[in-house]
Amino acid sequence: ADGDMVEKTIFSVFAICAQIQMLASTFFHWFGCMGKTTFSLVAKMDYTGIAVMIVGSYYPLLYYFFFCEPFWMVFYMSLIAILGVATLLVSWLPWFQQPQYAPLRALTFISLGSTCLFMIPHFLSLDPTPYGCLLRMLFMGVTYVTGAGVYATNVPERWFPGEFDNYMASHNIWHLFVLGGAVMVYVCCYFVREWRLNHPCEMDSIQEVVVLNCDSF
């Protein structure tokens, strides 16, 4: 029962973070044109939603990857939360919203999302190494980074000014990549969970953590 509750909580955190991001983006696009003050407020909401989504995406993955190593699970979860708050505070600075800093905004959120690169040596040390899960995480990262790159470089409208004012501008394309990335996160979580269920903890470690219940979800 405890395992059920912990798993549901972890996945609920991810789902809530995703909804916060989508809702914040909706407010930005609905009300951003109402005035300078309103734009500044909803832009901060939008950036906050992005940071929240990135942090929330990590939690299910870290939970299953380091299920048998509670210390590292808590350490990495705390690290990504601290970095998320730092990113959020930077994104609230007034100059951060200016158009010329769009590449910096993209780089800031890419940096937060790329925190997992520092965890790769630890991932590879897991026994057995979850190569399939890591490959799917790579696809997820490529999806997000590609979308951010399109947003930062203003492609394709920079090449064809005026042709993409209403449809398929870089911002529209970026949102498609964001949705695709969110789906990839869920897929990654599913496969990481299956990997953990098929590779339970050693008996000397299993007493230190909550036992996964194969019947949950």
The binding site for Zn(2+) consists of 29, 171, 175
Strands (E), the chain: none
Kindly calculate the radius of gyration of the chain based on its CA atoms and give it in whole angstroms.
19
- Distance in angstroms (rounded) separating the CA atoms of residues 182 and 39: 25
CA angle at 151 for the pair 25 and 81, rounded to the nearest 5° = 55
Phi, psi of 126, rounded to the nearest 5 degrees:
-65, 145
3-class SS string, 49-97: HHHHHHHHHHHHHHHHHCCCCHHHHHHHHHHHHHHHHHHHHHHCCHHHH
* 3-class secondary structure, 215: coil
The DSSP element (H or E) to which 193 belongs, if any, is: helix 170-198
- Residue ranges of the annotated binding site are 29, 171, 175
The CA-based angle 45-182-47, given to 5 degrees, is 15
Spatial separation of the C-alpha atoms in residues 57 and 49, rounded to whole Å = 12
